[in-house]
Amino acid sequence: MLELPRISVKDLQEWSKLSDVLTSGHRLCAGCGAGTMARQVTIAAKALEDPLMIVNATGCLEVASTIYPYTAWNVPWMHNAFENAAATAAGAIEAMNAMNRKKDESARKVNMLVFGGDGGTYDIGIQSLSGAVERGHRFLYVCYNNGAYMNTGIQRSGGTPMAAATTTSPAGKVIPGKIKWAKPLAEIMAAHEIPTYTASPAYPRDLMAKVQSGLKHDGPTFLLVDSPCSLGQRFPPSISIETTELAVKSCFFPLYATSKDEWLLTGESARIAKNPVRKVPVEDYLKLQGRFRHLFKPEWKKKLVEIQDTIDDRWERLLRKAEY
């Protein structure tokens, strides 16, 4: 049966005393969801006490945390190209397994974390990720989705939402921003029949429980995190967490865990399923972000209705999967 560990306030208080894995002094933007996400993930991982290794695909988190000759990481950390983070992690973890089989005294059980953005996961890295998962290497892959190639100029990615304006899908009189829905990456990974989770930095205990569940699993696991970007999504840095909270409350980004045919709604999404009046209109989420401001012009009002209808339909399908 699919279950998640319970993370209490007391646990958080104790874990706050642990030394940082991602330290202060990195160059991430104010309000960047990647920094908040990475701290929550690494704190939960460090609390498990086993040594931690990190592989980081090219992207905002990698660039801003390791500007040569400095690093913000306090654990073994590897940077590689956009496309091969999962393959690098697979090689490293199998090397540790080989050392353990040879009873090398320097070898220990290691928790392997992989970080990749939506560009390095939805698009460029999906082949490497799928292959590593199929082979069964033990790691937790964390995709932080900020909805575009933010590091290289805010170009649209496979994770960019429908109707979001980017530099390569600009909104105008002809098209309302991106004309396709985002790739259903969590469902694609769930189809590999591995434990798959979605999480939001607005709900840290839910996120951290999923990190620990994933790292305890004897095999590959996948975590998709909503990671707001104030620059590319165009909102004040001070409301970064508010935007991702509304993504959950509007069911634009529901929280769940799944393994094989079992689906479990978690956190606020489970509360909404039990009490639908908690659900807010998707407009509440969209109107905070400049990338969607064109949708509130008269010529694109129908697109707002289409988005709401699609989100409602996807939410109902998820409720059926979770047997609500």
Of 33, 38, 111, 113, whose CA–CA distance to 72 is shortest?
38
Residue 104's pLDDT is 72
What CATH number belongs to 9-321? 3.40.50.970
Q: What is the pLDDT of residues 220-263, one digit of tens each?
A: 999 999 999 999 999 999 999 999 999 999 999 999 999 999 99
Confidence of residue 103 (pLDDT cuts 50, 70, 90): confident
User: What's the pLDDT tens digit per position in 30-55?
Assistant: 999 999 999 999 999 999 989 999 99
pLDDT at 25 over 80: yes
Give the contacts of 303 (CB within 8 A, at least 6 positions apart).
Answer: 163, 176, 295
Task: Assess whether pLDDT exceeds 80 at residue 175.
Answer: yes
Q: Is the pLDDT of residue 109 over 90?
A: no
Q: How far is CA 51 from CA 14, 30, 90, in A?
A: 18, 30, 16
Q: Is the pLDDT of residue 22 over 80?
A: yes
CA 248/CA 254 separation, integer angstroms = 5
Contact predicate 77/56, CB 8 Å = yes
Instruction: Give the residue among 188, 56, 194 at the shortest CA–CA distance from 112.
Output: 56
The pLDDT assigned to 3 comes to: 86
Name which of 5, 35, 13 is nearest 241 in CA terms: 35
Dihedral, CA of residue 99, residue 100, residue 102 and residue 107, to nearest 10: 60
pTM comes to: 0.97
Tens digits of per-residue pLDDT, 183-211?
999 999 999 999 999 999 999 999 999 99
Both tokens of residue 16? 């706050």
Measured CA to CA, the distance from residue 159 to residue 63 in angstroms comes to 20
Counting residues of the chain whose pLDDT is more than 90, the rounded percentage is 92
Q: Residue 312: pLDDT above 90?
A: yes
In the chain, which residue ranges form alpha helices assigned H by DSSP? Answer: 9-15, 33-46, 60-65, 85-101, 118, 126-135, 185-190, 204-216, 230-233, 240-249, 267-274, 282-286, 301-321
Task: Sort strands 111-117 and 196-199 into parallel, antiparallel or unpaired.
Answer: unpaired
Q: What is the pLDDT of residue 105?
A: 66
Mean pLDDT of the chain: 96
Looking at the chain, the number of H-run helices and the number of E-run strands are: 13, 8
- Using pLDDT thresholds of 50, 70 and 90, give the confidence band for residue 73: very high
12-23: average pLDDT: 94
**Mean pLDDT (whole number) for 279-284:** 98
Residue 108 has pLDDT above 90, yes or no: no
Are 93 and 112 in contact by the 8 Å Cβ rule? The answer is yes
C-alpha R_g of the chain: 19
Domain boundaries, the chain: 9-321
Cα angle 169, 303, 153; round to 5 = 20
pLDDT exceeds 70 at position 106: no
Q: Is the pLDDT of residue 2 over 90?
A: no
* Contact by Cβ (8 Å): 203, 2: no
Return d(Cα 17, Cα 121) in angstroms, integer: 32
- The 221-226 sheet, strands edge to edge: 77-80, 52-57, 111-117, 140-145, 221-226, 196-199, 256-259, 262-265
Phi and psi dihedrals of 155, rounded to 5? Answer: -85, 150
pLDDT in tens, 148-159: 999 999 999 999
Share of the chain above pLDDT 70, in %: 99
Q: Does residue 162 carry a pLDDT above 90? A: yes
The continuous run of DSSP H or E covering 106 comes out as: none
